Amino acid sequence: MPEFRSPFLEGVYRHMITHGYSKRTVATYIYWIKYFIRFHKMRHPIEMGDTEVEQFLTFLAVDRKVATATQGLALNAIAFLYNKFLEKPMGNVRGYRPASRQRKLPVVLSRAEVSALLSQLEGTHLLLASLLYGSGLRRIELVRLRVKDVDFNQLQLRVWFGKGSKHRVTTLAPELVPALRRQIRRVAFTLETDLANQQYQGVSMPEALARKYPHAARALNWQYLFPSSALSLDPRSSALRRHHLDESSLNKLLRKATRDAGIDKEVTCHALRHSFATHLLESGTDIRTVQEQLGHQDVKTTEIYTHVLKRGAKGVRSPLSGL
């Protein structure tokens, strides 16, 4: 468990862990709750209410100029604080300035740039980057993959609890099958070593499934496809487990590969996902299919990729090209 100077924040942390919130959600909510308290000169949240929440959200929009999604995330964190932790439900919070910063166009690599980037990687790093691009995965979706989520027969990956807690199926490039089979053999070897440790209690499992299948945590198919290099204590139960690879390491390896490839773009894991979507549209895949592959709830979110196609917005050919 992280160390907290504030007993209050430690209480929030313990509440979220106890109620099964993901590590990522816990960290994000703690960040915004702490920011909210500091903005109001360290006043205790129980002494504040809707007015203070609206002031904070307006500050984020006007002074910090955050994006709409960021302001919404801050609101979600504070709503959790009042509605779930303090059990002091917020009222109708509407009197704040909504964020209006325009969404940035996505960074997209050309096919040649993707090839150059991948050529700088090898082994597990190459497989990770190839799945980000080849299957359009989000970073957290990639590291949360379990062995059972790879379907070699149908050449697809099953993504559970993606953004918005949505499940979906996305494509798997046949070129990655040999590397994935090797990776699963490495996972099996690691599991064999872990099972020899009497203190090891298996991989973390969703609570309902852990009760229904008590032995699944030690089964190969439930292990993370990209496990951490070391065992660690589960903050919820103090059980010794092997978590998945730390997602923050992925952008670091991509930044190095980008420099080595001589690519003058800000390449992140999401840039490979953007490139997956754009290249599918370029090759003639219909936008509804791309929407399903990405797991977008609204096709309007997917339509942003039509603005970065090589031939211009929505594939319109410039009249200058006909002169």
Query: From CA 6, how far away is CA 35, in angstroms rounded?
Result: 13
Query: From CA 245, how far away is CA 183, in angstroms rounded?
Result: 13
Annotation marks residue 273 as catalytic:
yes
Spot the catalytic one: 29, 82, 96, 305.
Answer: 305
Angle (CA) 239 244 249, round 5°: 130
Spot the catalytic one: 163, 168, 218, 243.
Answer: 163
Annotation marks residue 213 as catalytic:
no
Query: From CA 207, how far away is CA 222, in angstroms rounded?
Result: 14
Of the candidates 57, 91, 99, the residue with the CA atom closest to the CA atom of residue 74: 57
Annotation marks residue 296 as catalytic:
yes
Spot the catalytic one: 139, 146, 273, 279.
Answer: 273
Of the candidates 31, 61, 56, the residue with the CA atom closest to the CA atom of residue 43: 56
Torsion angle, alpha carbons of 11, 202, 185, 208, to 10: -80
Residues 6+ apart with CB under 8 A from 242: 190, 194, 200, 203, 223, 224, 227, 228, 230, 231, 232
Annotation marks residue 168 as catalytic:
no
Indicate the DSSP class of residue 5.
Answer: S
Q: Quick one: tokens of 249?
A: 């390491």
Of the candidates 210, 74, 222, the residue with the CA atom closest to the CA atom of residue 160: 222
Q: What is the DSSP string of 147-177?
A: GGGEETTTTEEEE-S-GGG--EEEE--GGGH
Spot the catalytic one: 64, 101, 125, 270.
Answer: 270
Which sequence positions are flagged as catalytic? 138, 163, 270, 273, 296, 305
